[in-house]
Amino acid sequence: MSTIEFFLAGTLSAATIFLLAALGELVAEKSGVLNLGVEGMMAVSAAVGFVVTFESGSHLLGFAVAGAAGVLVSLVFAVISISFLANQVASGLAVGIFGLGLSALIGRDYESRTIAATEGIAIPFLSELPLLGPILFQQNIVVYLTFALALCIGLTFKYTRLGLAIRSTGENPHAAQALGFPVFLIRYCAVAFGGLLAGFAGAYASTIYTPLWADGMIAGRGWIAVALVVFGTWKTGRIAFGAILFGMVSLGELIAQSMGARIPSQLLSSLPYIVTIVVLAMISTNTARMRLHAPFSLGETFDGVGPR
């Protein structure tokens, strides 16, 4: 595989981590819940997924348990913010910090251990195409499923009653309740779904993308996923494009080093976060566009009582 093929193929693999977590956060935010604990959920799930895969030898089991771990951590946030009406920003930050500490505890005895990564799936005939074959048609199955999931979520929001219920809950929970939608249940399910995808993202990071455990390996990807939702103005297609862009930037460090570029590694490692800050600053200048697509009641608590 040439350098350019490795770079482009690796971009899709790196983008999968961002896209999985961002899709989960998108669903949560569409329901009106701002969950800033994505980083902690991913960290816990990465540790759990690695430990289960290391001990059992089954990536499928590792993903399943990691997804369950992500759901459990997300439900802690949901109970605090939805049932007890705590501030969503503060609750998300607290759960995120808790998740980072818990992941270090879970993975303490597995530091620097490795597991065998799964092979990509070579699609017959298509994988043999020049240039496009190695890039698009020899990826891990999780990559294909993630981009298919992005399409499904986009169509669900646009064409289904379920999508309407979630969007209505995020726009005006009081009106949604008056229409008969179970607002609390919808928000709980949306947050849990976000935790599930964050769990899968963490498991993918620790068992497939980089099949080893190291404390802090999520390294801010959860925060980038949250930023991606804003970057994509709450639109699935734009979020997928943003994930590919950030995947490309995050992989640029390895490519630059392999080509012998004399750039400090610290600067290369910080590039994804620099790009995140620059992009968010640019988007924030257009407040009209952000208000057009952002859920109107995002971050607001809902107590089930009509507006006073």
DSSP symbols for 57-96? --HHHHHHHHHHHHHHHHHHHHIIIIIS---HHHHHHHHH
Residues 31-47, mean pLDDT to the nearest whole number: 97
Residue 125, CA distances (Å) to 5, 6, 132, 134, 138 in order: 18, 20, 11, 11, 11
Please tell me which residue, 259 or 250, carries the higher pLDDT value.
250
Please tell me which residue, 238 or 278, carries the higher pLDDT value.
238
pLDDT tens digit string along 193-238? Answer: 999 999 999 999 999 999 999 999 998 899 999 999 988 889 999 9
Task: Provide CB contacts within 8 A for 158, sequence distance 6+.
Answer: none
pLDDT at 99 over 60: yes
Domains observed in the chain: 3-114+140-293 (1.10.3470)
Q: State phi, psi for 212 to the nearest 5 degrees.
A: -155, 165
pLDDT tens digit string along 120-154? Answer: 888 888 777 777 887 888 899 999 999 999 999 99
Query: Could you identify the residue written with the tokens 């709980």?
Result: 188
Confidence of residue 278 (pLDDT cuts 50, 70, 90): confident
Give me the helices (H) in 107-220, please: 132-136, 141-159, 161-171, 173-178, 183-204
C-beta of residue 45 within 8 angstroms of C-beta of residue 277: no
pLDDT tens digit string along 82-94? Answer: 999 999 999 999 9
For the beta carbon of residue 243, count every other beta carbon within 10 angstroms. 30
C-beta of residue 54 within 8 angstroms of C-beta of residue 181: no
C-beta of residue 29 within 8 angstroms of C-beta of residue 58: no
Distance CA 60, CA 40 (A): 22
Distance CA 138, CA 10 (A): 11
Please tell me which residue, 258 or 11, carries the higher pLDDT value.
11
Q: State phi, psi for 146 to the nearest 5 degrees.
A: -65, -45
Confidence of residue 258 (pLDDT cuts 50, 70, 90): low
pLDDT tens digit string along 4-26? Answer: 777 888 889 999 999 999 999 99
Query: Could you identify the residue written with the tokens 């103005």?
Result: 233
Query: Could you identify the residue written with the tokens 């816990």?
Result: 44
Confidence of residue 291 (pLDDT cuts 50, 70, 90): low
- Residue 308 is predicted with a pLDDT of 47
Whether pTM exceeds 0.85: yes
